[in-house]
């Protein structure tokens, strides 16, 4: 399965799609990017006169790129429209803010994938290649 096919199978759409591009994907991990456009709605209220990207959105971005895209690749053609993908746990440390207009890169390394449960070590880098946040994310894919 190539990167275009993976992106087409993502169960998200705007305004809740946080994947622009997949740079690489293989059985051990994935790297992808997303740019936080300045007009995203959540910036209007987080924070007044000093908007930054909420941690929950950074976590979601890492989950979409680092867990869901990799999971789709690993499950491959067994994934159907009836398949369900769910987050089961996160442990993320936030180190730097992400501001409107910034492009981030998510790098994910598979820790394990068994019984359709995937756990990954993930990190997010800003354009200066500084670590913005890092940790582990796990989820499960129910294939029908």
Q: Is 46 a catalytic residue?
A: yes
pLDDT over 80 (residue 43):
yes
Q: For residues 10 and 19, is the Cβ–Cβ distance under 8 A?
A: yes
CATH topology of domain 3-142: Thiol Ester Dehydrase; Chain A (3.10.129)
pTM of the model: 0.94
Catalytic residue among 11, 40, 46, 97: 46
Whole-angstrom CA distances from 82 to 9, 63, 96 are 12, 20, 38
- The residue ranges of every structural domain in the chain are 3-142
Q: What three-state secondary structure class fits 6?
A: helix
Q: Which band of pLDDT confidence, cut at 50, 70 and 90, is reported for residue 23?
A: very high
DSSP states of 15-41 = TS----EEEEEETTEEEEEEE--TT-G
Average pLDDT over residues 37-66: 94
Q: Which band of pLDDT confidence, cut at 50, 70 and 90, is reported for residue 97?
A: very high
């Amino acid at each position: 399965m190539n990167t275009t096919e993976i992106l087409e199978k993502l169960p998200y759409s705007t305004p809740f799609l946080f994947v622009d591009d997949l740079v690489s994907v293989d059985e051990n991990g994935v790297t992808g990017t997303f740019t936080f456009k300045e007009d995203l709605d959540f910036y209007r209220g987080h924070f007044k006169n000093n908007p930054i990207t909420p941690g929950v959105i950074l976590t979601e971005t890492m989950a979409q790129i680092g867990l869901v895209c990799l999971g789709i690749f690993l499950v491959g053609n067994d994934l159907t429209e009836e398949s369900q993908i769910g987050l089961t746990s996160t442990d993320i440390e936030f180190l730097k803010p992400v501001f409107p207009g910034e492009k981030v890169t998510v790098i994910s390394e598979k820790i394990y994938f068994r019984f359709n449960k995937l756990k990954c070590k993930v990190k997010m880098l800003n354009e200066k290649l500084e670590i913005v946040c890092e940790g582990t994310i796990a989820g499960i894919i129910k294939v029908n």
